[in-house]
Every structure is written in structure tokens, then in C-alpha cells.
Amino acid sequence: MSSVDIGIDLGTANIIITLGGKGIVLCEPSVVAYDKKKKRVIAVGGEASDMIGRTPEYIIAAYPLRDGVISDNYMTEIMVREFIRKVSGNMLVKPRVVLCVPSFVTDVERRALVEAAMLAGARKAYLIEEPVAALLGAGVDITKPNGVMVVDIGGGTTDIAVASFNGIVSSASIKLGGNKMDSAIIKYIHQKYKLIIGEKTAESAKKKLTNMYDPDGAAKMQVKGRSVISGLPESVEISDLDIYEALSAYVEEIISNIRGVLEKTPPELVGDIHSNGLVLTGGGALLGGLDRLITQFVGAPCIIADRPIECVARGVNKAFKHTGELLDGFEKISLYKYK
């Protein structure tokens, strides 16, 4: 692998970049801060994330990707360009770039990403779909005629796929991920406790308290926000039962889609999955008790991948060994899969 090969996992919540044989060199929030008065971007990544909820009206700190799709082409192009320049530095040779995309992004969005990479100085730009990258990053061998299943729960989407012999056999992609779960927690706390909390507080509660298998109310924490009644600062104590109630409908939808993909899968491959299990990747894989709940309702063992948040990025890095099987981004703006 060339030392100037750049792999990009363009997630709704975070962008992870790999560089040649160095592995992961950058992991920052997918956030852009834009000054409307001066009409320019003033920060990207972690620096921009720190500005969320803390800026005057003329500065916007926002995620240019929402629910796994690009909501702002211009901001996304700038973000990709700035991050590539950040890791490539003063390279004498233009890098090859592999970008990971959700399986349902449009041709227009694909072209925007490829053009952003080329404007940042890439000599070649390739696209790979998330489920394939997640399986590669989890160390699963997809080259054999043996059914393997991945459930990749990211910030904006959940991608579910069964792969065999280098190809996706059946799949589903739903616009449900960590961000919607955070919003559900915010809504639940607002309704039950009459307290308005922020996104970061909701995310913290999700990480610390989630138990989707057997919550008992023992795990608790204080959350701070603004009282709906008085408008003044206030804190309340919430438990794992609160988080369970807030997220149960979303987890049920994920499990329902897993079963739906299995129903579309040939019986022989379903038999393989019953033996091999299914692999959980993405930040959502860390939701407490989710693996045991899936095992209970699906009937196949559920395995959390090693360092699940980094799986897609590691898979993108491995994709450089298969660039002969990936299409250059400008050759065909459509679905990019292994042949």
C-alpha cells in the first residue's frame, strides 16, 4: 500500500481518516463552523464541534450530513477538502482516496464527494459501500461462498447486509442511528421531567446508562438543563429504565429490519449465519445489552466487532488492495460494489 493512500469513513457523526500503512491518523466530529457575515468556514472537526450551541447567530456550527445523506453539498465538499489537506500536508505525490458512502446515497451526492476529493488534490477517487467496508474492517472473509452478516449502526444510518463470495446478497439501509437516538432521549426527558437538555448531554446519558436487555433502574446519573416551567437551570436524576423507554422503539425497528433481511436471504446462507453469527459494528454496537437482545430475537449469535467504531475506517484502508475491483469515482456514478 502506498504511503499516500488516504481512506475516508465519512460518517454522519464522525469522520475517520486512514493514511497508508499508518492506519487511523484522524478521528474528528463531522462538523463545520461557518461565518455568515464573512461568508467563510472558520473551523472543521473538533474545533467546530466545541462551538455547537455556543455561537452568536451569525456563526453556524452544524453537521453537513444528516441521517446518512448529505444535507449541504457545499459544506460537505469543504469539510472533505480540509480534512484531506490536513492529513496529506505537503505530499509531493498526489494521493489515491477511497471514500466510504452509505449504500443509498444519490448519484449527485456521490459526484459531489468525488469532486471534493479531486479538488483537495487526489489523483484517483474511489467509492466503497459501508456494509462491505464494515465487514472488511471486522476481519471477516467475504471471498468465500459462506454467508456472513453485518449490522453497522452509525450516527445517521443503520446498514444491514448479508455478503457471500465478494458480493452483497441482501441488504437494507434505514435512516436511524445514534443521532436519532440522542434526539429521542432529549424528547423523553423533556416530556417526563419537563427539562430541556442538549445533544451532548443526551449522548453522554446514552453511553453511560443504556441497557436494552435487562434494565432494573440501578444505574443512575444526574443530567442538567433548563426547566420548561421556570426557564431556570435545573438537574434531575435519570436511570437506565428511562433510556430503555426512550430507545426501545428504535431498537425494535433495527431488529425488525435484521429479520427482514434474513427473510430475503437464501436458506443456505441463513444456515451459515446461524452458525457464524452476525457482526455488530459502528458506535451503536456499544449500546449496552443490544447484542444479547438481538441474539434473543434473531436466534443467531451476535458478536461485537473489535473496536467497532473504527471498523468501517479499517475496511476502507484495506480496500486499497482491491482498487482493481472498485470503480474510479468518475468512471460511473452509480453503485460501487465488488464485482
Record the cell numbers describing residue 87, joined without a space: 492529513
Per residue in 163-221, pLDDT (tens digit) is 888 778 999 989 899 999 999 999 999 999 999 999 989 999 999 999 999 999 999 99
Q: Which domains does the chain have, with CATH numbers?
A: 6-132+312-322 (3.30.420.40), 142-176+247-309 (3.30.420.40), 178-240 (3.90.640.10)
Are 302 and 292 spatial neighbours (Cβ–Cβ below 8 Å)? yes
DSSP designation for 305: P
Are 237 and 221 spatial neighbours (Cβ–Cβ below 8 Å)? yes
R_g over Cα of the chain? 21
Round to whole Å and give the CA distance between 14 and 309. Answer: 10
Please report which helix (H) or strand (E) contains residue 179, including its range: helix 178-193
Round to whole Å and give the CA distance between 34 and 28. Answer: 17
Per residue in 129-176, pLDDT (tens digit) is 888 889 989 999 888 889 999 999 998 889 999 988 877 899 998 989
Per residue in 153-163, pLDDT (tens digit) is 998 889 999 98
What pLDDT score does 128 carry? Answer: 85
Please name the residues in contact with 333: beta carbons below 8 A apart, sequence gap of 6 or more: 107, 110, 111, 114
Record the cell numbers describing residue 105, joined without a space: 446515497
Mean predicted confidence (pLDDT) in 107-117: 80
Please name the residues in contact with 334: beta carbons below 8 A apart, sequence gap of 6 or more: 107, 110
Round to whole Å and give the CA distance between 17 and 25. Answer: 6
Round to whole Å and give the CA distance between 305 and 261. Answer: 20
As a whole number, the mean pLDDT across the chain is 87
> pTM for the complete prediction?
0.83
What is the CA 117 to chain-centroid distance, rounded?
20
pLDDT of residue 59 exceeding 80: yes
